[in-house]
Structure 1
Amino acid sequence: MIDEFEKENKDLKKPTILGMIDAKPAFDVVRRSNLIRKLHHLGLSEQSVLLIDSLYTNATTKIKWNGQLSESFDIEQGVQQGLTQTTKEYFHKLGDNVILLCTIEKAGNPIEWVLQFNISSNIPYSSDNNINPFLPEEIRKRLSIVGNYDLQISTIKTDDGGSYECTSNKNGVLEKHLAILSIVTPPTEILIQNVQDNKVSGTEGQILALNCTALGGKPPPVVKLTVSGVSVLVTGNQSVQYTNRQVPRDFDRQTVTCTVNHSESSTAFMKTAMIYLNCSSSDISEGMTDVNIFYASPETLVGDPICREVLQTLNLTTIVIDDFHTIATWGGDIDGKPAFRKWFQYIHM
């Protein structure tokens, strides 16, 4: 339509003037605090939320017109333009002395350090070379400004961990450097997902997913997943997963081992589980219409629902049970103790 209108005016030797109205993006009219809370509710890590929030906290700007700069004013809406931010993470042990580097060059306005207390507030730590006199004495005496307005924290403690921000306004552009101080800690536990009674259950020919996850640990610990008897070795940080979309019978009765190594642990965390694969119905029933003898362990004979279903369709005369002699002695509870192999108690002689 616009092209036709322009051609018509061109033929009539008339100018074409268009007025374009651009609707405001949703971000310009939605309260930022609500958006930040939404990120938190969506499950983003606290560090990620703080990093995004820092882009818009105490943000100011100036307008340059005919070579002159206006007074600074707060940026209350819209997506920031021309913002420069860098990030670095530091890993230190309790009691260490750490220097958080500020990558901003001074250009008239003060260079300030703040600790991001939460997503809505910061704690001022310094302005240029001056430490905030209103900080608690225990914190203030361990702080100093060194080098290029770098923040030094002596004998760090658990509460010192967090996100520190070095900021300065340079010619109307807010520059920020985020320094994340993480206290080195070992993981507390390692988990193998979908494990019950130290067993990982699956079905032959179907998807089998094995997942090892370390709980806690900074920096992220190294996790290794192996399966005995088959060529499976997966390594990664914090969490690893191995997926076989058509798991073969070779995986049955193999041991999954998850190992976690961390610089703060003298010994590795380790957890194991046994893989138990149910038989696929096609594998059991195919070509078995004339079976007279069926040999199986109690776990398969009684505990595998597919096996039980197929057995009902077969004309069997004899069932051979692995470790038959243990039925009488270990098949049920003895003196109040759990059965050694619980499936024996479901087999009746």
Structure 2
Amino acid sequence: MKKSPIKALAVTASLVVSLALASCGNPSAGQGTETGTGTQGKKVTLLTVAQSCDYCAKHTEEFKRIAAEAGLDLTVIVNNFNAAEQAQQVNQVISTDPDAVVVWPADATAIIPSLVRLKRADIPVVVANSYPQTKDKSLWTAYTGPNDLANGEQAALAMIEGFKAKGYGDSGNIVALLGPLGTPPSIDRLKGFEDTLAQKAPGIKVIGTQPGNWDQTTSTSASAALFTQYGGKDLKGMYSEADNMLAGALVAADRAGIDAKKMVMVGHNCSIEGYTNISAGDQYATVLQSPIEDGSLAAKTVINILEHKPVKKDNFLVPRGITKENLSECDAAVGK
């Protein structure tokens, strides 16, 4: 049962962009099938995270583009990875009775009570990018985004190949830069990375970690601490859960007089920082996780739900290892 429309949505300390979007009837907006026939004017809310994060911003822009083509009435609400604020935002969104909600969890454990409330309100939900930390998959209609265990596995395979390429064999100490502690991408990427090393190259060991929080400046300081504690010149590699954080590590290495080219540097996402550093030979590899593909997958999935088409519960991006040899596969992700 639809409730009366609410004229304004007040969200404290968050960015709200409401878009009444016209339909362009683009067939590409529906995972290979014609869309827009059942989505014109449908109310969808995208609850997402800090747009100061380049990946997050590109995800949002691609989502908005496809939503416009499908004629959705889209509201975008942003918070700075603040779980308590996001819970309040979800409560306010429920009161507007949207046709569907897409949520990028600020915290994949803290989001669970909000998902329970959305389910009770009978609102279809697409969870984007960060997989909820619960076994109860009935709380959402579909998940779209990375499989971060697989991402970590690809990074480990790249690290192993990098060790061989630099003549280090299959043993040596490395350190790691992590995303915000407690978040699923950070937890799962490290687990996938370490589990794969333990299975395929147990001599390569992660001896220290620091959170870089997806931020280059924070990662510069975190890397300096790692180099000081573990002796940067004795390390054979560094794994970073994001390319922009690895860019901070390169700054720290230069300041400490460490030749980063002697280390096997492996990152994630194939952002412009990784693209540039791989081109220059300062970074060995990255794992492609395109924000454009991520945002597109979320948008097309919610459109299919609104058009009553079948959707899979889990819709994963496929991670791809990238080195200088196949760097062109990242061209679209960085706007080349």
Give the TM-score, by structure 2 length. Answer: 0.24
- Structure of greater relative contact order (alpha carbons < 8 Å, 6+ residues apart): 2
- Name the one with the larger helix percent: 2
| TM-score normalised to structure 1 length | 0.24
